[in-house]
Homo-oligomer: A and B are copies of this chain.
Amino acid sequence: MSDIENLARRAADGDPRALGRLITVVENGGEGVRAVAATLAPLTGQSQVIGLTGSPGVGKSTTTTALVSTFRSAGKRVAVLAVDPSSPFTGGAILGDRVRMQEHALDEGVYIRSMSSRGHLGGLAAATPQAVRVLEACGFDVILIETVGVGQAEVEIAGLADTTLVLLAPGMGDGIQAVKAGILEVADIFVINKADRDGADATFRDIRSMMALVTREPHEWRQPIVKTIAHREEGIDEVVGAIEKHHQWLDEHGELRRRREARAKAEISAIVLGALARKYRVDETLAGRVAGGELDPYAAADEILDR
């Protein structure tokens, strides 16, 4: 306990190695996470948290790198958390770090970390917010959470952010696929990357058509669509502008507070369910009876809940 508290205090004072070790504690799960959370709780809540999601190949890493440069130019300390909800490889995280590190490796105002999420006390949904808490406590002005895809796990991660960017690229799938992915619900800002490619206008129109299907009250946020060519840093200032505008809107409409409470709620809930999942385990015998058609799964669930 005392070791963890010591580490947490050093990280909050700006020691990058202590920070790295703290996130490893959070990533590995176990009882250490509790001590980290308890120590850092009073220091959280001051960072702007930005989510960035999209399918493989749309240019998330390049966009993140360009955004980091822009935030740095404005004098902000930036942390990047690249979360891979499905990767079972811790080695993948290390490889990712190396690829990403190059441009900002020597900048002390930037912290970049890939994160796998297996084995955590409360699963992915608990590990990521704890890592965000660590970064908040360490005084980063901006925390970028980058996730692959737009599946359910990613939607949950987007729920951690104050502002979520959904990245698209021309030719990555038609309008039906975009609607199916449920991105309208997740996105605060749409970014069409690789906007110099054929099909960028079609992608733009697809998003517009989707948006037109949703009725909005005048006070509600209407997602802007920004075109970028991230590897040339084109359009990145516009993305940052849209983020600031959204942040202001959140603040003025009480949404920032509402989102952060919803985030805390999801976080507590994930921890509660993680604990309950360990308590109410399904045994082999019961699983065998259901697999064999002898018992239906709801009856099996009742048996476990009644114990």
* Contact residues on A (Cβ < 8 Å of other chain), bracket: 35 or more
Contact between A304 and B272 (Cβ–Cβ < 8 Å)? Answer: yes
**Closest CB-CB distance, A53 to chain B, in whole Å?**
10
Binary per-residue interface labels of chain A (265-291) against chain B in the complex, 1 for a CB within 8 Å, 0 otherwise: 101110111011100111010111011
Is residue A172 within 8 Å, beta carbon to beta carbon, of the partner chain?
yes
Is the pair A86, B261 in contact by a Cβ cutoff of 8 Å? no
For residue A270, give the distance in angstroms from its CB to the closest CB of chain B.
Answer: 9
Stretch touching chain B among A67-75, A91-99, A228-236: A91-99
- The interface stretch among A101-109, A247-255, A295-303 is A295-303
Q: Is A6 an interface residue (CB 8 A)?
A: no
- The reply to whether A297 and B273 form a contact with Cβ atoms under 8 Å apart is no
Q: Is A180 an interface residue (CB 8 A)?
A: yes
Q: A155 an interface residue at 8 Å Cβ cutoff?
A: yes
Nearest Cβ on chain B to A91's Cβ, whole angstroms: 8
In Å, the complex CA distance between A180 and B56 comes to 10
Instruction: For the complex, give the distance between the alpha carbons of A276 and B271 in Å.
Output: 13
Cβ of A305 < 8 Å from any Cβ of B?
A: yes
Task: Tell whether A2 is near chain B: CB-to-CB under 8 Å.
Answer: no
What residues of chain B lie closer than 8 Å to A287, measured between beta carbons?
261-262, 264-265, 268
Chain A residues close to B by CB (< 8 Å):
33-34, 37-38, 40-45, 55-57, 84-89, 92, 95-96, 99, 124, 126, 129-130, 148-155, 171-173, 176-182, 185-186, 257, 260-265, 267-269, 271-273, 275-277, 280-282, 284, 286-288, 290-301, 304-305
